[in-house]
Amino acid sequence: MKKKRVWRYYCEYCKKSGCSAYHMKNHEVSCTMNPNRKCRMCGYTEGHRNSMDELVAIVKKAEPDMLTQLREATGGCPMCMLAAIRQSGVQYYEIDEDGVHSNFISEFDFKKEKEQFWRDSNDARAQESYDYGYGY
């Protein structure tokens, strides 16, 4: 029988763990629970983003047009939107003062937002390269 001791590394912000310190360091930089995160999607599209405190404040207001405001503040980045929702601590379903479940976050579908984000980004890049190639 062989016996082996293995190191386990944990993210300081979420519950993710792994056996590689290198991979966990990379994860922590862009972890959606990291308040000082560096967004890889914004970096790819050269997008901008407001501070995470501002984004979380938008979510906590729980206004009817919260997703629209959040989309504008993040430049449409679904990862920043997800990070703000997760860090706000707001539950998927909130119970209001009448005891009624309101699901103002249920409109947010990360998968659809991500697909739309990449579609728009790729279309913009294709148009940019087309314009560059023909000198327009």
What pLDDT sits at residue 16? 96
- Crossing angle of helices 52-61/78-88, nearest 10°? 70
> Rounded distance, CA 134 to CA 136, Å?
6
Per-residue pLDDT of 25-57, as tens digits, reads 999 999 999 999 999 888 777 666 788 999 999
Residues 74 and 15: their CA atoms lie apart, in Å, by 25
Contact between 44 and 121 under an 8 Å Cβ cutoff? The reply is yes
CA 23 and chain centroid, separation = 19
pTM of the model: 0.80
Q: Cβ–Cβ contacts within 10 Å for residue 64, how many?
A: 8
